[in-house]
Amino acid sequence: MKKLFITIGALVQTYILMPLAAKAAYNFDGGGLTAANNALGQVGSNANLTNASDLPTLIGTGISVFLGILGLFFLILVIWAGFQYINSKGDPAKTKTAIGMLTNAVIGMVIVIAAYAIANFVLGALSEVSGQTI
């Protein structure tokens, strides 16, 4: 268990804290909130999010982002359940817990995929009726 905490601590330091320290030395063309806002606006324009001013586009983007985050959560849950199953070492109670978690995670992923398909269909139909692109 001590090795696990040391490994997690090293990964956090490597992938989270070190980039933040490197980013602290970055100069936003003079600094300040205005420069940070300009940099954020540039990120938005590069991601093609500048035309998200109307409500249907904003709602469609929000639903897509939310369902994407849920899908990522259930994917991580499936990986964690597989990790627990592998490390159960034949213990029936741990194996049963891991299989239950894996089953629930797969059901959750199916629900999220179905919700994404339904939302995509409904938003597509609404955009076709209203004449706006979502």
Quick one: pLDDT at residue 49?
Answer: 63
Q: What is the mean pLDDT of residues 3-31?
A: 63
Q: How confident is the model at residue 52 (pLDDT cuts 50, 70, 90)?
A: low
CB-based contact 99:93 (threshold 8 Å):
no
Question: What are 66-122's pLDDT values in tens digits?
Answer: 888 888 888 899 999 999 999 988 889 999 999 999 999 889 889 888 988 888 888
Cα–Cα dist 14/19, whole Å? 8
Q: Is the pLDDT of residue 1 over 90?
A: no
Cα–Cα dist 75/59, whole Å? 24
Cα–Cα dist 1/58, whole Å? 45
- Chain-wide mean pLDDT for the chain? 77
Q: Which residue did the predictor score with more confidence, 11 or 22?
A: 11
CB contact set of 130 (below 8 Å; sequence gap of 6+): 56
Quick one: pLDDT at residue 109?
Answer: 87
Q: Is the pLDDT of residue 18 over 90?
A: no
Identify which of 3, 134, 2 has the alpha carbon closest to the alpha carbon of residue 63.
134
Q: How far is CA 133 from CA 46, 64, 109, 118, 125, in A?
A: 19, 15, 28, 17, 10
